[in-house]
A and B are shown apart, each in its own frame.
Chain A
Amino acid sequence: MAAILAAFTLTTATCQPLRAADAPMVRIENFAFTPPVLTVKPGTTVTFRNDDDIPHLVVANDSSFRSKALDTGDTYEFTFTKAGDFAYFCGLHPHMQGKITVAP
């Protein structure tokens, strides 16, 4: 029993950091973007995932990207190629705001 548990812990422990490194993610929960500020390297694809029971919509302040309405569990991906600060908000609930900082 202990061996099985240890093996299981080991599997999850090796999987999770890999996934996190591969796919930087902004989670949408409780009408907020988490993390509110995310720093990535140029060329990184960021995934936005809606974990609320209500749709949200990710829109760049400078209109450089815009998702479709994301229902519960839906994701939106955008690849940030240029360095800089990219502020964004929810097109349905504009008091929700976030920022992606792209730096080498």
Chain B
Amino acid sequence: MSVIIVLLAFSLLIAVGFLIAYLWAVKDGQFDDKYTPSIRILFDNEKNKISHQAQNSELDKSNNDLSNQNSEFKKRSS
């Protein structure tokens, strides 16, 4: 019998937790604008882009270095 009471208390506790989360979300304005975020998600993140570019330029550099080394090596070998 007591197990039902424990379960009941526990389930109500969890349900109240969800209710509070919902009310908090409404208060915080999560339901104010239901459209714009759906578009915002599609924008490329600029910072990532920059880091990509940086990575690419780094790669280019190292590639250049490699090719330079290669050419020098060829020169020497020849």
The answer to whether A and B interact is no
Interface of A with B (CB < 8 Å)?
Answer: none
